[in-house]
Structure 1
Amino acid sequence: MKYVLGIDIGTGSVKAVSVDLQCKSFETSQQYYSFNSPKPGYHEQDPEQIWAAFLESIKEIIIKIGSQPLAISLSSAMHSLLAVDKDCKPLSTMMTWADSRSSDIAKRLSDSAEGLAIYNDTGTPLHAMSPLCKLIWIKENQPELLNKAHKFISIKEYLWYKLFQEYKIDHSIASCTGLFDINKLTWHKSALALIGINNNVLSEPVPTDYTKEFNGTSQNPELGFLQAGIQFVIGASDGCLANLASMANKPGVAVMTIGTSGAIRIASKTPLPNEKSMPFSYILDRETFICGGPINNGGITLQWWLKNITEGKPTEESYDQLFKQIGEVPAGSSGLIFLPYLTGERAPIWDSESCGTFFGVKLQHGQQHFSRAVLEGVCYAMRDVLDTVQQNAEPITQINISGGFVKSDIWVQTLADITAKKLVVVQTEDASSVGAAFLAMKTLNLIQEYPTSNYANLKTIEPNPINSKIYSENFTIFRLLYSNLKETMHQFYQMNN
């Protein structure tokens, strides 16, 4: 059977998905691995564990199907950083996107004209997640590692070297580093100068359709289960490829995902910089940028609330009870508003010192009002990012949604009412892996255009105009609350940390 294999190298697992030549996925393999957090703010992984999981996922798919893939295409989590020697042996553990030890550096850059100029050129928000901030942290705290390293690379580059013994980075992953000029498609001189490095310690940037043919086991004995002739496509980042699989690679349609965290992404022909709210502008291909913003506090916020109002670990039944309780309260939670910044926040405020806050509490409010306010707070945060992204983009007429939250009718309707947008449930399982496969298929001329959907066959949720009016007024207060409380939050953070 002819198929293409899309592989997503995530933070917690590798997920491989086989896609046939009719663009239908049919087999999957998921291999998990762990992370370490030896100190507060540290989030590290062993790249060899990820390499082993990568190989195992390919092997399992081949065994399930009984034949080799025509091509293998790679998706990857963004913002990882690994120092290696001349033989690509790790000199340290790998820092993931969640590593926040450089948060003070990010704040310092955000307050400088030089930092903002770098943001405008690179499209990467000035945040601890970015390799730019991580490398400055290494310079200031581990200068011996900066001097010793032959290369600083991401996890995808590490796997690509293990496959082909060459240092290449796709334009998509490069555009997430804060080190890459997304207009000139070259490493950014001022960013490198801040760190004190040159482009020799970074990989060669290549387009996301860069392809290399596997020529047999002479390249690496661990790859003996693969046949010569398989085409490897370097692919793009997970967020960009998720947009592709979610049928939102054209302007006017946004993708909104809510899992533990959340994100909003739209396709654009040009970057969409905004120095105040710092949306990202990452490269999908030669013609398309994927722009948007991530939030920290998605499903984790509901999980936190549920743990505090029920006994034991949250279950599917306890979530059902929570949503039933929320449905008994009218839109607006009777004047109660929640800022959901339990773990600080990324877009659009980029403030790791912000915190969660209930506002408007009165004697009339019971547990059910607080429950609804928590849900609405997450949706307000997503609306905040959406409004930021829309400022310089083409009008958004539709939002394609995916993630665990789509199972809750009350959550989805609340989101539609707060955003005042039509939502379409495009629950593309394993979207990043599938998007990687689609990219390879188009690159190899197995398809002429990316797949589209007949939206008439998909579940659509329209906003309730009466609720949307209530939420519009409350959202104004929601945004004012953060700006009015910002300095107090920072003062309180310093007192308690």
Structure 2
Amino acid sequence: MDYVIGIDIGTGSVKAVSVDLEGKSFGAVQQYYSFNSPKPGFHEQNPEEIWDAFKKSMDEMIVEVGNMPKAICLSSAMHSLIPVDETGAALAPMITWADNRSAEIAKKLRQSEIGLSIYKATGTPLHAMSPLCKIIWLKENDPDLFARTSKFISIKEYIWYKLFKEFKIDHSIASCTGLFDVNQLIWHKNALNMAGIGDELLSEPVPTDYMKFLESGVPVVIGASDGCMANLGSGGIKPGIAVMTIGTSGAVRIASDRPLPNEKAMTFSYILDKQTFICGGPINNGGIALQWWLKSNSKQELEETDYDQLFAEVAAIKAGSNGLLFLPYLTGDRAPIWDSEGCGVFFGAKLAHDKGHFSRAVLEGICYAMYDVLVAIEENSAPVKQINISGGIVKSEIWMQIMADITGKDVVITQTEDASAVGAALLAMKTLGLIGNYPDLLATDLKTIKANFSSTEIYLRNFIIYKKLYADLKDTMHEFHNMNAQRD
């Protein structure tokens, strides 16, 4: 059987997916791994553990299918950083995208002219997640490790070096480092100077269709980042289509033929291939906010029935939660506010509100946060007419209806799982000429949820208050955060 393997190297697991030449997945193998948090704000992983998971996933997938694939292509989580020596051996644990130790560095950069110029050139938001900020932190806080480092690389570069003994970085992963000029496709001098490094400490940038061959003769395409691959795997590379994913966190992304910088909202512009940028923004508080709300009202471990009961309660409440609003910034937030000191807020609570109103307000608040990103993206892009949606949200029809109503867009359920790995497989097929163009994944039998525009009118009025509420409370949030931080 002719097939390709897309491998997604995620934050919690590696997943290998077999995809036939029509773009349909038919098998998957997954290997999990752990993370460590040795100090508050730190989030680290062992790159060797991830390499082992990669090998096992790839080998098991081949054994499961029974013959060698036509190609393999890699998708990877963004913003990781590993200091390595000249042999590619890790000198310290990998710092993941979730690590927040360089938050103050990012905050200062966002407030500076040089920082904004770097953002516009690189397309990477100035945030603790970016390798630029991580490298500056290492330079300032661990000078010995900084001095001993031969290369600063990502987890995909680590795996690529293990496979082929060369330091290469694809344009997609490079474009989310904060160190790479996305227009000239070279390392950005001002960003390098800010980090205190030369380009010799970074891998050689190559296109996302760059490939090498394993000893077995199977070609391996270097691929792109998981967010870019998810758009490809979800059918989100055409004009007028946005891709929304809500899992623990959330993201909104569209395809563009050029970067779409937005200094105020600091949306990202990452490279998929030579013709395509994937532009958008991430939020911190997706399913994690819903999980927090459920746990706060439960005395036991959560089960699927708890979610089902909540969604049933929400469906009985009218749009707008009877004037109750929720700011979902329980862990601060990224786009478009970029505020790590923000907090969650219920506003407008009255005696008439019961648990169902609060539950619906939580779902609406998460959707407002996603819509806030979408509005920022549309400021510089063609209007979005359709949203392809995936992640945990697809398990709830009422939650998807709320998203359709708040955005006023058609919501289409696409690939509910494996979108990044499927996208990697499609990129491999196009690179090898197995397909001429990416297939149209938006088949007519996919479920579409239409907006109820009477609800949309209510939500648009409430969204204005949602935005004003954060603006009015921002300084107070920061004051309260700092007061409690000093007390701790």
TM-score interval (norm. to shorter): over 0.9
Count of equivalent residues: 485
Cα distance, 1:190 vs structure 2: 0.4
User: 1:76 corresponds to which residue?
Assistant: 76
Structure 1 range deviating more: 54-63 or 282-291: 54-63
Q: Unpaired runs of 5+ in structure 2?
A: none
AA matched with 1:109: L
Deviations 1:43-79 (A, max 9, x none): 0000000000000001111111111112110000000
Question: Are 2:144 and 1:144 equivalent residues in the alignment?
Answer: yes
Q: Distance in 2 between matches of 1:38 and 1:129?
A: 17
AA matched with 2:390: S
Question: Are 2:343 and 1:355 equivalent residues in the alignment?
Answer: yes
Cα distance, 1:454 vs structure 2: 4.5
Q: Distance in 2 between matches of 1:320 and 1:213?
A: 48
Q: Distance in 2 between matches of 1:480 and 1:286?
A: 40
AA matched with 1:406: V
Question: Are 2:240 and 1:252 equivalent residues in the alignment?
Answer: yes
Cα distance, 1:310 vs structure 2: 2.0
User: 2:222 corresponds to which residue?
Assistant: 234
Deviations 1:23-42 (A, max 9, x none): 22111100000000000000
Deviations 1:426-459 (A, max 9, x none): 1342011110010000000000010103442111
Matches within 5 A, 1:323-472: 323-472=311-460
Deviations 1:178-221 (A, max 9, x none): 0000000000000110121100000000000001122x2xxxxx
User: 4+ runs of 1 displaced by more than 6 Å?
Assistant: none
Q: Is 2:76–2:156's contact at 8 Å kept on the other side of the alignment?
A: yes
SS of the residue corresponding to residue 132 of structure 1 reads: helix
AA matched with 2:66: G
User: 2:49 corresponds to which residue?
Assistant: 49
SS of the residue corresponding to residue 323 of structure 2 reads: coil
Q: Distance in 1 between matches of 2:415 and 2:7?
A: 18
Q: Is 2:231–2:253's contact at 8 Å kept on the other side of the alignment?
A: yes
Question: Are 2:185 and 1:185 equivalent residues in the alignment?
Answer: yes
Q: Distance in 2 between matches of 1:404 and 1:369?
A: 21
Q: Is 1:131–1:178's contact at 8 Å kept on the other side of the alignment?
A: yes
Q: TM-score, normalised by structure 1?
A: 0.97
Structure 1 range deviating more: 177-186 or 320-329: 320-329
AA matched with 2:429: M
Deviations 1:364-419 (A, max 9, x none): 11111111111110011011000001100011110011111112111010110011
Q: Distance in 2 between matches of 1:167 and 1:433?
A: 23
Question: Are 2:467 and 1:479 equivalent residues in the alignment?
Answer: yes
Cα distance, 1:324 vs structure 2: 1.0
AA matched with 2:419: A
SS of the residue corresponding to residue 257 of structure 1 reads: strand
Report the RMSD for the aligned CA atoms in angstroms.
0.8
Q: Distance in 2 between matches of 1:131 and 1:250?
A: 30
User: 1:127 corresponds to which residue?
Assistant: 127
Q: Distance in 2 between matches of 1:141 and 1:379?
A: 38
Structure 1 range deviating more: 19-28 or 289-298: 19-28
Q: Distance in 2 between matches of 1:52 and 1:324?
A: 43
Q: Distance in 2 between matches of 1:423 and 1:329?
A: 21
Q: Is 1:245–1:428's contact at 8 Å kept on the other side of the alignment?
A: no
- Of all paired residues, the percent bearing the same amino acid is 65
Question: Are 2:144 and 1:156 equivalent residues in the alignment?
Answer: no
Q: Distance in 1 between matches of 2:102 and 2:193?
A: 18
